[in-house]
Structure 1
Amino acid sequence: MATSPRIVIIGAGGVGCALADELTRRGHTHVTVLAEGALFAAAPAPEPVLQVSHDPATTRLATATVRVHTRLAAAGVRCLRRVGSLEVATTPARLDDLHRRHGRAAEAGIGSRVLDPGECAAVHPLLDRERILGGLHVPGDGTAAAVTVAGLQARAAIERGATFLDHRPVVAIEQRNGRVTGVRCAGTGEWFPADLVVGCAGLRGPAIGELAGVDLALSPTTRRYRWSAPLRALAMIHALESVSGAGDPSLPVLRQRAAGLYVHADGHRLGVGSGAHPAGTDPSWAAAAELLPVLDGATVADDAESATVTTPDGLPLLGEHPGLGGFWVAEAVRDAHAAGTAEAVAEWIVTGRPASGGTPVDLSGLQVDRFDPASRVLTGRASVTAGRPDRPIRTAPLVSRQAELRAVFAAGRADGRPLWFGANASLPEVCEILPRRGPAAADRSPVAGAEALVTRRAAGMFDLSPLRRVEVAGPRAVEFLQRLVTADVDRPVGRVVHALLLDSAGGVLTDLTVSRLGAQRFLVVLPGPAGVAHLCRYTRDGVAVTDVSDDTACLGVWGPLTAEVLTGLIPDGMHDLGPFRAAGFTVGPVPVTGLRVSAVGEYGWELVCAAADAERLWDTVHAAGARHGLVAAGRDAFESLCREKGRRIVGTDLSPEHGPDAAGLSALVAMDKGPFVGRAAVHAAREAELPAAVLATLVLDHTGAVLGGGEPVRDLPAARRFTREPVPLAELEPGPPEPIGRITDAGIGYTCGVEIARARLPVERAVAGTRVAVEVGGRRLTARVVEGALHDPAGTRMRTPARVHGPAAPPAVAAGAPVESGDAGAA
């Protein structure tokens, strides 16, 4: 009998080979890797390994890849040419972005410098310095020999017992009782039993998802690579460096993000690579020639294209799919992230927690099911049902009403909520918001700010339908939830509690609300699908876990005039229902379940109805609110209001890398209620010592800066610790202090008129009134630590005996289900 699970990896590319290596390193020797064609097929072109990205998780994966390549190089094999990278900016906005990337590199421990045009030309002599404003130089980057690395890792896995088979196209993924049981191949008809199947099939990724019966948000794309004929300029550089002993030309990989191109030296030639462009419209060669005059008129000697897959947001798809137990995915992974991804996913499979270099890594933003099908329709991105055109995609229940108000959506967002509504552009509050955005905030719509102001002054109506709603019912429902969530959910019918889901190591997976609708029936509301999968994973006899998100819709109605808006639409007694209570009633003609919770710090309700009644509910509330100034408001206004209220954001503020105490959510953990997942780890951490770093709220001492998250936070010199003016970076030299923390989330508080951020800081620095420096755009700007929420009027805080405090995550409950008799109407 096998002592470790039988694992079948579909795909023998860089990720598949690396994953086999990492799994066998951890003692899992029953690993079979199936390649559709030949093993270790030659890649059309090298891909750069660029460590610094806008996403912290992929930055971690890239640095881990460099670490693995360095380890392989120690065995005498050259896997990575660390010639460095130089990303150049041709506009002030791009230069500002490079300064941000430099800050994120510093926070991640990656050496980098922002260079002026002359310094860029010194690093890359072929560059036209007149064309650029500056560049970000990362000496540790380079180009990887992906096929060599894959071969080395495959051989290491084979030596530990793994099996690699070529020409084995998979034609079936068999399953029983919601779990994989094996895969079947074409031609030979071979069947491979499996406890786990991992899809790393690249271009065949959508088809593999199809075989598993799940949707994967993958779309085919191509990458183009062209080589110049030998260039005399490179030959001269080569000759000079040969004399000096440097060997091959050591020009860094040149990157220009706006044009989607990278250029690297290949002997006496230059290779120009580009991302996906429509056929016949690839501008990368012309863009490269503008930066490198030596390419102007140069002959294209070779031209190659490689097919791959991508996601709506350009990030990988990772993790176990909640739709099929034991079916894991590691798709849309660039070569630059392959080895690091394999390390993290192997840890995830073996221990239940992704980790890199021995420390946890938050991959919640890369989860396989992070995209909502409705959002992919709204953003115009490719359908996740590629290869299944007959399969319908769920339509957002309020999309037609939002279209009537000229809703603006963002491409690549993981849900389908509008950012703001064009119909609100004539609100007088728009003029108030314009000076509050700051000169650098061109991407902040004043309409979103106006929607936030109107919500604070009158009322706002928000579509919360994309949040996930799960009904938990059965004779063991209470026991099930008590074992999983951190708060005591065994409360009277009609109560709502705010809680957390932890992993076994005490890391925060997500926050959630739990509403008791009956003695054996609860409604759990979560920000995203990852939490739903976690609940389903623990399902047992005596409890049914049903995702009702697609069958329901939810409106959040908040603001000081909400009671007036709903007067005559809801029973009079409902206005007196205290906070964190649930009740069933009707809004006009529409049956709803209402929750008295507020994510934004204003009196109001979250109203949940059947998806079929969503438009009637919208119309009823919208018409009644017109005379009171109610507006439909979008996601940007919602996030700003939540930020002012102090709500934590899953994936940035909350992650498995940190426990509830470090997130400032200790009060959401009821240690005395009995055992629950993660309790032992939280207890051990509290017994050991205070967390080294905690989440603190910062207010910048000025307006106009736009933070994107990930910026390093540094101590100020004593003489500057109380200044309210921006501190130029040059005035802090020499010897700039090392970062003491990083920004996790940031954005403008439209109604407060300040830039709000949260940062992980040492406990001794996270004290209200202290000042720190945030590095952004090449300068260090001062900010002060504040305690509590910037906006929390009386009556919005939790006042029930439950051991929770602070804002609730946007919750909802099952459609139109009346709450069973109890104390739902109690204050």
Structure 2
Amino acid sequence: MTDLPSSAKTIVVGGGIVGASTAYHLAAMGQETLLLERHQLSSGSSWHAAGLVGQLRSNANVTQLLGYSVALYDRLEAETGLATGWKMNGGLRLACTPERWTEVRRQATTARSFGLEMQLLTPREALELWPLMNIDDVIGAAFLPTDGQASPSDIVQALARGARMGGATIREGVAVTGIRVEKGRVRGVLTGAGPIACEKLVLCCGQWTRALAARVGVNVPLVSVQHQYLITEPIPGVTPGLPTLRDPDRLTYWKEEVGGLTMGGYEPNPKPWAEAGVPDDFAFQLLPNDLEHFEPTMALALGRVPALETAGIKSFINGPESFTPDGNFILGPAPEVTGLYVGAGFNAFGIASGGGAGMALAEWVANGAPPYDLWPVDIRRFGRNTLSTRAVRERTLEAYARHYAMAWPHEEYASARPARRSPLYDRLAAKGAVFGEKLGWERPNWFAADGEPPVDVPTFDRPNWFDAVAREHRACREAAVIFDQTSFAKTLVTGRHAEAALSWICAGDVIRPPGTLTYTQMLNARGGIECDLTVARLDEETFYVVTGTGFATHDLDWLRRNIPPGLDVRLHDATSQNAVLSLMGPRARDILAPLAEEDVSNAAFPFGTCRRLSVAGAPALALRITYVGELGWELHVPVEFAATVYDALMAAGAPHGLRDAGYRAIESLRLEKGYRAWGADIGPDHSPLMAGLGFAVKLRKNLPFLGREALEAQRDGRLPRLLAGFTLADPSVTLLGRETIYRDGKRVGWLSSGGFGHTVGRPIGYGYVRDPEAGVDPGYVLSGSYELEVATERFPAEAFLRPLWDPEGARIRA
């Protein structure tokens, strides 16, 4: 290719739907963009995608992103003059068991929360929309009128034309063979036709993304999985307006295709592909038909649509697609290399996601931030356990097999475990710990007593571990517990300018003497909460930053990206150095004092401080802080001392009623205390003022910090939303999050988190009360009459802004 430019501001690699969409949106923003495709546009997996476009997901912003795809496809043909095959024929979802019907009703409430009107139908009403199906086993159905379907290849071509119309350059037949990185920043790509310089690089290479990114140390957790479907000859009664159909209890999906039907599914025993690597020359190709593997899916499908038995088969598709370990796609800036972005791993819903994903990725590239919080798909949600392709494949196959399985609350993955274990793992397992997993870490969720099966039993109602968590909860409130929180992410920030850097990045005041703790948020320029963590000052040049397990990659990356240039600051991931034993409860001091060689009285060791102690002969960094609303300490001890300290604490605590407790008790305790959870109650779309965290921000001090201007603009007026708590009088109702909030009969938001408070004896939820036009203040929140909608049923609710438990904080300062 002699007409390749020598440089471009942004290079997009990959000409599938996501790459074309990203180029289209970058061009629309006036960004100089070059798209490079090894073969031809849509030649990877886009050309053989089934083309269903659904919108509803469990996260509001991902649902919004998919809704953007629908809006884009609705206008794209008129804008570019190319047909897209898009039609808004609606989407139908069946429920054939009582449990599935509960799930569908909860999904309908979620849809309503997010502004989508999902209609619940009787079997007969569903049959009127889809006359070819057998409804003998159908209990009910849900219909989303704004869902639809599209022609994948046509959508790609239309987006490419739109990109060219906006000024983007697209070159096919150009293979990217390498990435040039200097001092941690992307500088260009290497191609078969020579090098091309760039400032920013976007990898949208589908199945090839993991291998290409790995050449420069970037981890993209995805693998290839075979996905099969068939297309029939025309069938009498199949009309162009037939909705798409999802039949999760039979693991299948359907759509109209030129008078016939497309039928595919997600089998429980998926087959990987290209385990030794995806061939570079795999373009417009399919895999051999695996009829034996597809036969069980076919049998399930025949039970739903008997006409399939006599229909002619026009084509049988077995195409590999990229899937991820959690079933969500991957977007955003690679934490390992500045200027490199990823859009890949679309789990067979790349067509539904492509329009919105390209828009979000383009904004991320051009503006340094996405249009709204996209944490569920952020590449930084993964950790070191996904560096292994074998582990990624094992977990991804499980996620694929669950695609149409029941989405049970609190469900844990079983594969690729255990990976990362605390030094206490075996001790806790022997004591009945039922473990969950986060970023590869095994963490006790709850402890089974003698005679209790140490397993989660899935349900939408009160779970089998409810009483166990109640025991642990009460022990924390009345005596003391130990939580193994070794999985906390821990970062050492050191250097001559560590204080200056953290003072800029943190909204809270960290310019405090050694030995003090600062609970703080780190904000973006819009004032949104990017991180929620604790900063311990150890000495003049050393800070110890502690954050949640799941945010290890994200928060370390946020710190790295926002250190002002020229400062002497070093970051060290200390997560694996220290185990963390959190001793919490009113008897915590009685247990710790005999084991500590130092004074741990309130006068010597007040709340909000940290000290180095010798506990049972072991060195410990003790942080007097709590996430459960009780007196307590986090004891950060070197991993080799963890078992010694744990055994000593348990022995000293036995007379005081000390017991082990898990993360589900933490959740119950923190709900009563009103502590926020990042990724649920707070995030980049919410400022501390909206979240009720203004007390943690240094606005009263004349100190600059990232996001200050945005908060100053907010503080003098009514806000578009405020976080409030809600309780229900009926203790049998299960709150999980995403339930719809009604104020005076009007929908004003949804719950961001929910659970049960075992001290107050009520279900508790948190969510934002919204009024973007008139604004919201505390008086407005507390003056309304509220209801929560749970699985389409409304329940009276009481709103609160002050913590339900110990609102003055006396217990934590005891």
TM-score with structure 1 setting the length: 0.84
For residues 577-633 of structure 1, what are the alpha-carbon distances to aligned partners after superposition, in whole Å with 9 as ceiling and x for unaligned? 111110011221321101000110111111112334444443443444345433332
Alpha-carbon distance in structure 1 between the residues aligned to 2:329 and 2:10: 21
Corresponding residue of 2:658:
630
Q: Aligned to 1:365, which of 358, 361, 376?
A: 376
Give the 3 Å change call, closer, same or farther, for CA 251–385 of structure 1 in structure 2: closer
Q: Aligned to 1:156, which of 149, 154, 162?
A: 162
For residues 433-456 of structure 1, what are the alpha-carbon distances to aligned partners after superposition, in whole Å with 9 as ceiling and x for unaligned? 99xx99822475543333323322
Unmatched tracts of structure 1, length 5 or more: 239-247, 356-360, 387-391, 717-736, 800-826
> Alignment partner of 1:618: what SS?
helix
Corresponding residue of 1:116:
122
Residue 561 of structure 1 contacts residue 628 of structure 1 at CA under 8 Å; is this kept in 2?
yes
CA positional deviation for 1:24 = 1.4
Alpha-carbon distance in structure 1 between the residues aligned to 2:12 and 2:506: 33
Residue 385 of structure 2 contacts residue 391 of structure 2 at CA under 8 Å; is this kept in 1?
no
Alpha-carbon distance in structure 1 between the residues aligned to 2:449 and 2:56: 38
CA positional deviation for 1:255 = 0.7
> Alignment partner of 2:179: what SS?
strand
Residue 91 of structure 2 contacts residue 143 of structure 2 at CA under 8 Å; is this kept in 1?
yes
Corresponding residue of 1:759:
767
The one-letter code sitting in structure 2 at the alignment partner of 1:595 is: L
For residues 22-62 of structure 1, what are the alpha-carbon distances to aligned partners after superposition, in whole Å with 9 as ceiling and x for unaligned? 11111211x22222332233722432111112222321111
Residue 216 of structure 1 contacts residue 369 of structure 1 at CA under 8 Å; is this kept in 2?
no
Corresponding residue of 1:460:
481
Alpha-carbon distance in structure 1 between the residues aligned to 2:386 and 2:654: 28
Say if 2:292 is the partner of 1:278: no
Corresponding residue of 2:259:
268
Q: Aligned to 1:354, which of 367, 370, 381?
A: 370
Alpha-carbon distance in structure 2 between the residues aligned to 1:484 and 1:384: 35
Residue 598 of structure 1 contacts residue 605 of structure 1 at CA under 8 Å; is this kept in 2?
yes
For residues 630-663 of structure 1, what are the alpha-carbon distances to aligned partners after superposition, in whole Å with 9 as ceiling and x for unaligned? 3332221211111111111112211222221111
Alpha-carbon distance in structure 1 between the residues aligned to 2:443 and 2:253: 34
CA positional deviation for 1:311 = 2.1
The one-letter code sitting in structure 2 at the alignment partner of 1:740 is: V
Q: Aligned to 1:9, which of 12, 15, 37?
A: 12
For residues 501-538 of structure 1, what are the alpha-carbon distances to aligned partners after superposition, in whole Å with 9 as ceiling and x for unaligned? 11111111121111111112111222213222111012
Residue 372 of structure 1 contacts residue 466 of structure 1 at CA under 8 Å; is this kept in 2?
no
Give the 3 Å change call, closer, same or farther, for CA 464–340 of structure 1 in structure 2: same
Residue 580 of structure 1 contacts residue 798 of structure 1 at CA under 8 Å; is this kept in 2?
no
The one-letter code sitting in structure 2 at the alignment partner of 1:92 is: P
The one-letter code sitting in structure 1 at the alignment partner of 2:14 is: G
Give the 3 Å change call, closer, same or farther, for CA 704–684 of structure 1 in structure 2: same
The one-letter code sitting in structure 2 at the alignment partner of 1:533 is: D
Residue 85 of structure 1 contacts residue 142 of structure 1 at CA under 8 Å; is this kept in 2?
yes
Corresponding residue of 2:539:
518
CA positional deviation for 1:252 = 0.8
Alpha-carbon distance in structure 1 between the residues aligned to 2:8 and 2:375: 25
For residues 264-317 of structure 1, what are the alpha-carbon distances to aligned partners after superposition, in whole Å with 9 as ceiling and x for unaligned? 121332211223642455543333222223335655442212212222221122
Corresponding residue of 2:405:
none
Say if 2:688 is the partner of 1:655: no
Corresponding residue of 1:416:
441
Say if 2:70 is the partner of 1:66: yes
Corresponding residue of 1:491:
512
Corresponding residue of 1:802:
none
Residue 451 of structure 1 contacts residue 631 of structure 1 at CA under 8 Å; is this kept in 2?
yes
CA positional deviation for 1:795 = 5.1
Give the 3 Å change call, closer, same or farther, for CA 773–681 of structure 1 in structure 2: same
Give the 3 Å change call, closer, same or farther, for CA 410–347 of structure 1 in structure 2: same
Give the 3 Å change call, closer, same or farther, for CA 746–798 of structure 1 in structure 2: same
For residues 327-355 of structure 1, what are the alpha-carbon distances to aligned partners after superposition, in whole Å with 9 as ceiling and x for unaligned? 21112232211110111121122222211
Residue 745 of structure 1 contacts residue 759 of structure 1 at CA under 8 Å; is this kept in 2?
yes
Q: Aligned to 1:194, which of 183, 193, 198?
A: 198
Corresponding residue of 2:555:
531
Identity over aligned residues, as a percent? Answer: 29
Q: Aligned to 2:153, which of 129, 147, 155?
A: 147
CA positional deviation for 1:405 = 4.0
Q: Aligned to 1:574, which of 600, 609, 612?
A: 600
The one-letter code sitting in structure 1 at the alignment partner of 2:219 is: D
Unmatched tracts of structure 2, length 5 or more: 272-291, 398-417, 771-775
Corresponding residue of 1:714:
742
Q: Aligned to 1:27, which of 26, 30, 33?
A: 30
Which moved further from structure 2: 150-159 or 14-23?
150-159
Alpha-carbon distance in structure 2 between the residues aligned to 1:562 and 1:427: 28
Alpha-carbon distance in structure 2 between the residues aligned to 1:321 and 1:530: 10
Residue 705 of structure 1 contacts residue 755 of structure 1 at CA under 8 Å; is this kept in 2?
yes
Corresponding residue of 2:497:
476
Corresponding residue of 1:810:
none
Task: Write out aligned runs for 1:160-175 (5 A).
Answer: 160-175=166-181
Alpha-carbon distance in structure 1 between the residues aligned to 2:310 and 2:424: 54
TM-score with structure 2 setting the length: 0.85
Alpha-carbon distance in structure 1 between the residues aligned to 2:543 and 2:618: 21
CA positional deviation for 1:565 = 2.7
Give the 3 Å change call, closer, same or farther, for CA 284–53 of structure 1 in structure 2: farther
Corresponding residue of 1:781:
795
Corresponding residue of 2:749:
741
Give the 3 Å change call, closer, same or farther, for CA 397–226 of structure 1 in structure 2: farther
Q: Aligned to 1:332, which of 345, 348, 362?
A: 345
Aligned length in residues: 746
Say if 2:693 is the partner of 1:665: yes
Q: Aligned to 1:54, which of 37, 50, 58?
A: 58
Corresponding residue of 1:601:
629
Residue 480 of structure 2 contacts residue 586 of structure 2 at CA under 8 Å; is this kept in 1?
yes
Alpha-carbon distance in structure 2 between the residues aligned to 1:3 and 1:219: 32
Residue 261 of structure 1 contacts residue 275 of structure 1 at CA under 8 Å; is this kept in 2?
yes
Residue 364 of structure 1 contacts residue 530 of structure 1 at CA under 8 Å; is this kept in 2?
no
